[in-house]
């Protein structure tokens, strides 16, 4: 993985630039003196192009591993918590929306109202490829602050809406798009400040969503009961306002990519980065993870209904969600730290393990006829759910480097939006057709296992790529050495023919 590509801008003095002690091979060759007939001749290297200059500076950049980075980490943690805390608490607002727009017993209204939350969550991931382009062009700070402002406007507008159709636009699109633009830069900016501790920092940041998801429902329940739905949404606007302020802390250390003076195709290629797709490791990762997610979210959506059908409506099923949330939080902290001790793309094996365990636990759900067994299953699912989520950004940095990580994460999240929306409805259809969730949970365990097996190819592919690069480098060095030897021989032969002394 590359480490960065420039010195900090402005007052970003936390980063350290280390002088290069050794010249690169091309620089050594450029200043080589060739003696011919007593004259010295020096080859002056041509001015480096923008990508080459960026690559040279990138090799000299050293991540601060702290300093202002801890403030950025807390701001990113607030972003993850507020965005997904509000999204995951939609179930509480769902009942209030039913009462606001009709009746709780209206099945058609329940279906149409549920799409408000589904649309909102889907848009966060669906917009990610577009967000990555804005992040590359405008930087993390501008993108995050602008996104939080749009999300604030969308949520505030939703508090004045009296029609479900308008709610689709204000909450499902405007608010969700703002959250998407605020969320993705919070992952990218961490790579400006951390490398050795990137896993731990991502674990802490992503733990924010678990903490908010566990605590926010208690706050919202009291607010909905005392001040009503519309005023509750206005109170939630405070979270988005703080998120907008948090975005100002995203002071970049790595530069914006050099903009070519050319127009047309080259300019488009800079905006829509195709470099990420040149990596076979990233290709496998970008399609293996969405393949695994077709069954990944089924237990999270349908587990409550399954518990009611098997153990009765009076069962304390909320404790299962609490178990998942608590262990997911610990999993993000633990495995984030563990990832820092695993070198290179071998971090992918943590995600492979996560998918295998979650797939097996999904298949175990129908076999649990004791509630305590379900608690054990949920504890394991939550632990490895946290493992899967917290190391996504570190793996992206390993596969494509910091220059391309924004669009790498954006494209992955965009591809993830499809299985997140499709998987749970398919499971619901199987339940309605077969009369129980058993087959749905058995089948839900298959995609994570297949996706995890596919990800096992990545370390092998990356090792093969590095071997090929090393061979190419060795061959280039040998060619340069051979040309130097031939040049010296030619000089000697020339002197010998003219009868001059080579001394």
Same domain, 323 and 251: no
**C-beta atoms surrounding 288 within 10 Å:** 23
Q: In 3-state terms, what secondary structure has residue 36?
A: strand
Which of 47-61, 80-94, 221-235 shows the lowest mean pLDDT across its residues?
47-61
- Asked whether residue 8 is domain-assigned, the answer is no
Same domain, 212 and 158: yes
Same domain, 229 and 281: no
Q: Write down the pTM of the prediction.
A: 0.69
Same domain, 231 and 281: no
- Asked whether residue 13 is domain-assigned, the answer is no
- Written as six digits, the tokens of 77 are 């943690």
- Asked whether residue 28 is domain-assigned, the answer is no
**Long-range CB pairs of 312-317, under 8 A, 24+ apart, other chains included:** 315/371
**C-beta atoms surrounding 440 within 10 Å:** 26
What mean pLDDT, rounded, does the chain reach?
78
Position 61 scores a pLDDT of 66
What total of structural domains would you count in the chain? 2
Same domain, 279 and 362: yes
Given a cut of 80, whether residue 295 has pLDDT beyond it is yes
Query: Tell me: the pLDDT tens digits for 441-469?
Result: 899 899 999 999 999 998 888 888 888 87
Same domain, 175 and 234: yes
Residue 286: closest CA among 124, 408, 123: 408
Same domain, 86 and 153: yes
Mean pLDDT value across residues 383-402 = 85
User: What's phi and psi for 404, nearest 5 deg?
Assistant: -110, 5
- Asked whether residue 230 is domain-assigned, the answer is yes
Given a cut of 50, whether residue 317 has pLDDT beyond it is yes
Same domain, 74 and 148: yes
181's CB contacts (< 8 A; 6+ apart) are 127, 131, 134, 143, 144, 146, 147, 148, 150, 151
Mean pLDDT value across residues 396-420 = 83
- Asked whether residue 498 is domain-assigned, the answer is no
Q: Which domain holds residue 118?
A: 63-256
- Asked whether residue 353 is domain-assigned, the answer is yes
Position 156 scores a pLDDT of 93
- Asked whether residue 4 is domain-assigned, the answer is no
Given a cut of 70, whether residue 67 has pLDDT beyond it is yes
Same domain, 127 and 202: yes
User: What's phi and psi for 209, nearest 5 deg?
Assistant: -65, -35
Position 238 scores a pLDDT of 93
**C-alpha–C-alpha distance, residues 474 and 25, integer Å:** 11
Determine the number of helices (DSSP H) and then strands (DSSP E) in the chain. 23, 4
DSSP state of 419: H
Higher pLDDT, residue 9 or 256: 256
Same domain, 299 and 434: yes
Higher pLDDT, residue 112 or 189: 189
Position 50 scores a pLDDT of 44
The CATH number of whichever domain residue 403 belongs to comes to: 1.20.1250.20
- Asked whether residue 497 is domain-assigned, the answer is no
Same domain, 288 and 202: no
Position 371 scores a pLDDT of 87
């Amino acid at each position: 993985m590359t480490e960065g590509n420039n010195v900090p801008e402005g007052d970003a003095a936390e980063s350290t630039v280390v002088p290069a002690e050794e010249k690169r091979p091309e620089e050594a060759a450029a200043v080589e003196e060739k003696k011919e007939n007593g004259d010295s001749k020096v080859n002056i290297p041509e001015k480096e192009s923008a990508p080459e200059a960026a690559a040279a500076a990138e090799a000299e950049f050293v991540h601060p591993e702290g300093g202002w980075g801890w403030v950025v980490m807390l701001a990113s943690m607030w972003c993850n918590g507020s965005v997904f805390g509000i999204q995951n608490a939609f179930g509480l607002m769902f009942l209030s929306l039913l009462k606001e727009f009709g009746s709780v017993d209206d099945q058609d209204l329940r279906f149409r109202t549920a799409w408000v939350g589904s649309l909102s969550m889907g848009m966060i991931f669906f917009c990610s490829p577009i967000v990555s382009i804005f992040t590359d062009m405008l930087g993390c700070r501008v993108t995050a602050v602008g996104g939080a402002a749009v999300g604030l406007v969308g949520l505030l507008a939703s508090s004045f809406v009296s029609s479900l159709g308008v709610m689709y636009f204000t909450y499902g699109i405007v608010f969700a798009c703002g959250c998407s633009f605020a969320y993705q830069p919070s992952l990218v900016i961490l790579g400006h400040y951390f490398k050795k501790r990137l896993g731990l920092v991502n674990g802490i940041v992503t733990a924010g969503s678990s903490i908010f998801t566990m605590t926010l429902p208690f706050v919202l329940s009291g607010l909905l009961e005392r001040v009503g739905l519309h005023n509750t949404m206005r109170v939630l606007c405070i979270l988005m306002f703080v998120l907008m302020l948090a975005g100002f802390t995203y002071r970049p250390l790595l530069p914006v990519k050099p903009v070519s003076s050319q127009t047309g195709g080259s300019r488009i290629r800079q905006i829509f980065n195709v470099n990420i797709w040149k990596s076979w490791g990233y290709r496998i990762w970008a399609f293996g993870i969405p393949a695994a997610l077709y069954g990944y979210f089924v237990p999270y959506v349908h587990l409550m209904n399954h518990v009611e059908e098997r153990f009765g409506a009076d069962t304390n099923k909320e404790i299962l969600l609490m178990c998942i949330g608590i262990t997911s939080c610990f999993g993000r902290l633990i495995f984030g730290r563990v990832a820092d001790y695993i070198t290179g793309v071998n971090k992918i094996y943590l995600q492979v393990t996560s998918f295998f365990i979650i797939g097996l636990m999904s298949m175990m759900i129908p076999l649990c006829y004791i509630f305590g067994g379900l608690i054990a299953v949920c504890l394991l699912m939550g632990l490895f759910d946290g493992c899967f989520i917290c190391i996504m950004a570190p793996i992206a940095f390993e596969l494509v480097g910091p220059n391309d990580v924004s669009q790498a994460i954006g494209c992955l999240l965009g591809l993830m939006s499809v299985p997140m929306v499709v998987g749970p409805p398919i499971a619901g259809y199987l339940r309605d057709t077969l009369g129980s969730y058993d087959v749905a949970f058995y089948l839900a365990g298959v995609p994570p296992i297949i996706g995890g097996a596919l990800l096992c190819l990545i370390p092998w592919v990356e090792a093969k790529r590095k071997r090929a690069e090393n061979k190419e480098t060795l061959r280039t060095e040998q060619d340069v050495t051979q040309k130097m030897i031939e040049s010296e021989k030619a000089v000697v032969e020339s002197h010998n023919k003219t009868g001059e002394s080579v001394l």
